[in-house]
Chains A and B, each alone.
Chain A
Amino acid sequence: MSNHTTADRHPGDEAEAGHLPWAGQAYSVKRFGVTITNCDTEPVQTPGCIQGHGALLVLNRSDLCVAQASENSDALLGRAAVALLGQPVSLVLGAQEEASLRRLLGRDDCEHNPRYLCTLPAHDSVPALDVSVHTVDGVVVVEFEATGRSQPRPEPASWDPIGRVQHSVARLQKADTLQALGDIATAEIRSLTGLDRVMVYRFHADGHGEVVAESRRDDLAPWLGMHYPAQDIPEPAREVFRRVWIRPMREVGAPLAELVPLAHPDTGRPLTMTHCALRGPSVMYTEYLQNMGVTAGLTLAIRRGDQLWGLIAGHHYSGPHDMSFEMRAACELLAVVVSLQHRAAQEREELVYRLQLDNVLQQLVTQAAHEGGLSALLDGPPTLLDAMAAGGAALLHRDSWTRAGAVPPEPELQALGAWLANRPELIDVERPIFVTDALAREYPPAAAWAGCGGGLMAIALSRTLGDMVLWFRPETLQTVRWGGNPDDKPRVPGPHGMRLTPRRSFELFVDSVRGRSLPWKSVEVDAAVRFRAILMELVVSRAAQLASLNTDLARSNDDLDAFAYVASHDLKEPLRGIYKYAHQMATDAAERNDPDRERLAGLLRLALRMDSLLDSLLHFSRVGRVALLLEPVDVNEVVAEAIEMVDGRRRDKPAEIVVPVRLPVVQADRVRLREVFVNLLSNALKYNDSPITQVEIGCTVAGPQAPTGDGSPPGVTFFVRDNGIGIHPRHVDQVFKMFKRLHGRDEFGGGTGAGLTIVRKLVERHGGDVWFESTFGQGSTFFFTIPRVPAAKSNAA
């Protein structure tokens, strides 16, 4: 909010007045107005002058004699001001109305509250004058106003102020949003007063104003949606409207009538005209209206408690506009009703907005819950950006940024994220939220972000991970229509140069809103906090879910282990019995030379094969689950051991195993890696019908990419190449399948068919891939990779 240093100024403040041109004497708009250079110093409540279409008398409370009179008393009241001073008011009102005045004052409700007293009939060249009375600072103020009527009361039958007001109030009560309230209020007041344009002008938190509702003559250009700098309604004027509901101006720029004398003869104080309908307008206000072509005006306050929420501003463009006391009273009443209805309408409106926000945020949370991650928040629709009236949104999750809309580039985001992470607001336990509508004032680098550096709202999702959600709101300058924007209007110099032209006020204003966004509504901030709470619940319940999944997984691993064990044990026990009986029968049959002995020998062979299948199954189930022991492993040693282990199996024919290059050291489980080489080597030796079996073991650091490669980090590719039988293209898909043998069970030395399945499992456990190239009849090369950073690193912890 902009800082109005004069917010507390009161009329006649001597300390301040000492520095002003009228120092030491009472102020008069008429005399000193042109010397004003700063709106905020103008004593608008003690202008010393009234609008010239009426007259004003200041009476002493005790004897109702005239202490001050407006200088135009002669023309309107028939006696010169000086001639009235010290005289009883009955001289002007007559004895009967003086008695009425005494009765009115006796009721004691006139303090700061003008009451209608009577209408003096027209005579000679003087029009009929409405007389109203109020008291202030111990004096009685009597205002005489020419309202354009020629008849004293009663009013013409067509004018039924009570009926009009009842009708308007009934309509206002039906309004259920601020917008509807504003629309109805402007329409009713315009129809009541006959003004050309009536607007609801709302003050934003930073003091600038926006036209939020408008009723206008059809031929006028709409001002709805225009924003006006805070300086357009200076603080002294705002202060007036915290005290009075209504401020009429019959004719902009009409002659002013000064009080005679300017200050009260007894107290030396200027008259406080805050409550006077005739109060002389501020010179700034007059100029401002004139610059807009306004010829008459009416301003009403919209208050929330003692806060000034906005104004209802009426403009007339076609000459003076008379508004009778009753009409003004009706308008005042409507302003009061609008103010009373206002809170309810705003609360309803906020509730609707809040429900909208909550609805989107709820959808987002559901989305995140379904898709299992915070990143779903920007997958949409809807996205984080729909959840808030913002220009851009960004999510920091697991050290990576996801963005939508107008958001600074990623390096800038990273720096901002780091800065935010240390903000005390985001560390707050209850409400870890950081909200600003002027980011660059706290974080200067934001000044360089065109279009997104205005406002920021940030919520922390996880302190440990640094996860956060950011909403960016662009600068107000770029988002709203500015009244007075030099791009919208031609330069209009005022009567005092460029002092108060729209252009000038816009320039004044630009400095104050540069780098500022529209403020975040409390509804929005609350929604963000709630959103965070729901997300946190989701995250926490996810964690609980994961923990229970982990438990389940551990249990099912144990179950699997138990199953594999039971299977192997329980299947093997009968198998051992079968084997034993078959063995005994075969022994007997051999002694008797029984023809069944061949079949019994087959039975024995099958039982042994079943036994080795069960062993493989058990082994395979353990390979998948037993934790890897990762350590730096010299592959040269591992290969040497593997060659030694398979050595015994190649006695039937000559074989050369060569390792032409020096192999690297990798991070692996030594025993498992050796098992991989043993399996590949024994296959290479086994499936070979060349006269001399040749096997080469080697590696390529940047070697051929695995066809199944998924972008995993590059590692070392090892290979085992043979000149064996090769793999027929139609078997390519079968090679790694469990227990899938490509050859007769007794060809090439037999085997369970589990070797390559186990190889693949072991390599995958290291985070690598395994594949092969083969030419049928000429040989095969099996490749496998061991990544630099194994994916299974968690198992080593």
Chain B
Amino acid sequence: MLHDAMTHVVLVEDSDEDADTAEEALRRTLLPARMQRVISGEACLALLTGVPGLLPSLIVMDLGTPGLDGRDALREIRRDQRLSGVAVVVTSTSANPRDVDFCYQAGVNAYHVKPVNHLEHLDAMTAMFEYWLRRVELPMPQPCPR
């Protein structure tokens, strides 16, 4: 669609600092991408199903958001056939194998652990955006189902 040539990214993140880091990382890629931030799983699902326009190409989701947990949101998204073209990447503080296993079984595209060291964190997020928005071919964005 011509009116929106920019790649659309949704960030699900309740931490302002981490959201800031994600935005900085996206800026550093110099990609023509637009990032929309929500702070909960519910808000993310509402955005995907209730707003006119195209679906995002990529969802970057923190696992431990308030309200509807990232795990639940992930499960909902992957259960909905109409959202199958959206790539979902989880970022989490947890390196617990149980969390990792859960996310891959629920159909996540990638799982990243957020380091405490800011520079490492920033590098990891930058590399993630580079990979998903530049290196990888994603399907054409579809209209939001209603």
Contact = CB atoms under 8 A, between A and B. Distances in A.
A363 interface: no
Contacts of A561: 96, 98
Interface string B85-101: 00000001111101100
A569 B98 CA distance: 14
A583 B119 contact: yes
Contact of A569 (B18, B94, B121): B94
Given A573-B64, A576-B18, A577-B17, A607 B119 contact: no
Contact of B93 (A573, A579, A580): A573
Interface in A579-609: 579-581, 583-584, 607-608
Contacts of A583: 118-119
A576 B64 contact: no
A111 interface: no
Interface in A637-680: none
Contacts of A584: 118
Interface in B107-125: 114-119, 121
Contacts, number: 55
Contacts of B98: 561, 565
Contacts of A608: 116-117
Given A565-B94, A569-B92, A580-B21, A575 B99 contact: no
A618 B118 CA distance: 21
Interface residues on B, range: 20 to 34
A611 interface: yes
A572 interface: yes
Interface string B25-69: 000000000000000000000000000000000000000100000
B94 A576 contact: no
A568 interface: yes
A572 B99 contact: no
Contacts of B94: 565, 568-569
Interface string A471-483: 0000000000000
A712 to B, nearest CB: 31
A626 to B, nearest CB: 9
A580 B17 contact: yes
Given A565-B96, A568-B93, A573-B18, A579 B64 contact: no
B103 to A, nearest CB: 14
A570 B66 CA distance: 12
Contacts of A611: 115-117
Q: Among the interface residues B93, B98, B116, which one has the most CB atoms of the partner chain A within 10 A?
A: B116
Interface in A525-573: 561, 565, 568-570, 572-573
Contact of B64 (A569, A575, A607, A610): A569
Contact of B116 (A570, A572, A618): A572
B99 A576 contact: no
B142 interface: no
A611 B95 CA distance: 13
Contact of B118 (A569, A572, A580, A610): A580
DSSP class of A's interface residues: helix, strand, loop or mixed? helix
Contacts of B92: 569
A170 to B, nearest CB: 86
B99 A579 contact: no
Contacts of A573: 15, 18, 64, 93
Contacts of A577: 15, 17-18
Contacts of B118: 576, 579-580, 583-584
B113 to A, nearest CB: 10
Contacts of B93: 568-569, 572-573, 576
Question: Max chain B CB contacts within 10 Å: which of A570, A572, A575, A607?
Answer: A572
A607 B18 CA distance: 16
A381 B1 CA distance: 91
Contacts of A580: 17, 20-21, 118, 121
Nearest to B92: A569
Contacts of B119: 583
Nearest to A615: B95
Given A573-B64, A573-B93, A581 B17 contact: yes
A470 to B, nearest CB: 52
B22 to A, nearest CB: 12
Contacts of A607: 116
A585 to B, nearest CB: 11
A610 B118 CA distance: 14
A576 B96 contact: no
Contacts of B18: 573, 576-577
A584 B21 CA distance: 11
Contacts of B114: 576
A568 B95 CA distance: 9
Nearest to B15: A573
A568 B94 CA distance: 7
Contacts of A565: 94, 96, 98-99
Nearest to A626: B97
A131 B99 CA distance: 111
A581 B119 CA distance: 12
Nearest to A581: B17
B116 A575 contact: yes
Nearest to A586: B118
A579 B116 contact: yes
A618 B93 CA distance: 12
A381 to B, nearest CB: 53
A620 B21 CA distance: 30
Interface of B: 15, 17-18, 20-21, 64, 92-96, 98-99, 114-119, 121
24 contacts: A561-B96, A565-B94, A565-B98, A565-B99, A568-B93, A568-B94, A568-B96, A570-B64, A572-B93, A573-B15, A573-B18, A573-B93, A576-B116, A576-B121, A577-B15, A577-B17, A577-B18, A580-B20, A580-B118, A583-B119, A608-B116, A611-B116, A618-B95, A618-B96
Interface of A: 561, 565, 568-570, 572-573, 575-577, 579-581, 583-584, 607-608, 610-611, 615, 618
Given A576-B17, A579-B116, 4 more contacts: A569-B64, A579-B118, A583-B119, A611-B115
